[in-house]
């Protein structure tokens, strides 16, 4: 896949799946914007990717849960990079616990980042993409949004809502040359999964037909495909990258 001349913005792009996605786009020719809550770390990641690939990169601070911050991120990206072709809504948080132990603040925090945050970024980027009559939006959902997971009423709801957002927005902007799709990763070792109990990890592994957890690079490859010219006729879809876990 060739993204030469294009600019990709990845939220939550300083580590884990987000970083793998940013690296993939840069390796395939794109200029890359890394947006994260921590400015210094976003800038450090951007600099490392630039050194590795020779691509122009930019690190920005953003609180995706705040519409003004998300809008400023998009405006600054456009001002410094000249255009914005690809948005990957990857920023996400977890606050797992059973519903009877879950505080309202745990619900609000996860929905604010995972769902409202993606909506904020989509809202901010839609107008410039419509003006250029081209755009690719890829939302990072989860198998938890497809099947639900005990102890994740907040996270599962946010990721299921993201699928609804994906499909609704895809219908709104398709006529302007913009596609909107989602990738639903299975279990991938990241900062969000490191704290899971080992017995839960072992139980999850038994549910994966290929017999292993996924790799961030495998999620990145799926995202890049959906953002590519080869996927121009694909929109409003959810691609599960989960080792066969969610076969239907």
Which residues are part of the catalytic machinery?
155
DSSP codes of every residue in 152-205: -HHHHHHHHHHHHHHHHHHHHHGGGTEEEEEEEE----STTTTTS-HHHHHHHH
Angle subtended by helix axes 117-132 and 153-173, to nearest 10 = 10
Supply angle C-alpha 75, 168, 99, rounded to 5: 95
d(CA 70, CA 63): 7
Residue 36 DSSP label: E
């Amino acid at each position: 896949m060739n993204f030469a001349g294009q600019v990709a913005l990845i939220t939550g792009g300083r580590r884990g799946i987000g970083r793998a996605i940013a690296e993939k786009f840069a390796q395939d020719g794109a200029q890359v914007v890394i947006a994260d809550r921590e400015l210094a770390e976003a800038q450090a990641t951007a600099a490392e990717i630039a050194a590795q690939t020779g691509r122009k990169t930019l690190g920005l601070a953003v609180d995706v849960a705040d519409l003004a911050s998300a809008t400023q991120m998009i405006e600054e990206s456009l001002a410094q990079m000249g255009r914005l072709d690809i948005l990957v809504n990857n920023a996400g948080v977890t606050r797992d616990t059973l519903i009877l132990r879950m505080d309202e603040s745990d619900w609000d925090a996860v929905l604010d980042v995972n769902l409202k945050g993606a909506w904020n970024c989509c809202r901010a980027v839609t107008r410039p993409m419509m003006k250029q009559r081209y755009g690719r939006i890829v939302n990072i959902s989860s198998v938890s949004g497809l099947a639900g997971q005990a102890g994740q009423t907040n996270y599962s709801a946010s990721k299921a809502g993201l699928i609804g957002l994906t499909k609704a927005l895809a219908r709104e902007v398709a006529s302007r040359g913009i596609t909107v799709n989602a990738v639903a990763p299975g279990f991938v070792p990241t900062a969000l999964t490191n704290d899971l109990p080992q017995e839960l990890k072992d139980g999850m592994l038994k549910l994966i037909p290929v017999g292993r957890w996924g790799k961030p690079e495998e999620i990145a490859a799926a995202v890049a495909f959906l953002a590519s010219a080869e996927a121009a006729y694909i929109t409003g879809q959810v691609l599960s990258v989960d080792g066969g876990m969610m076969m239907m």
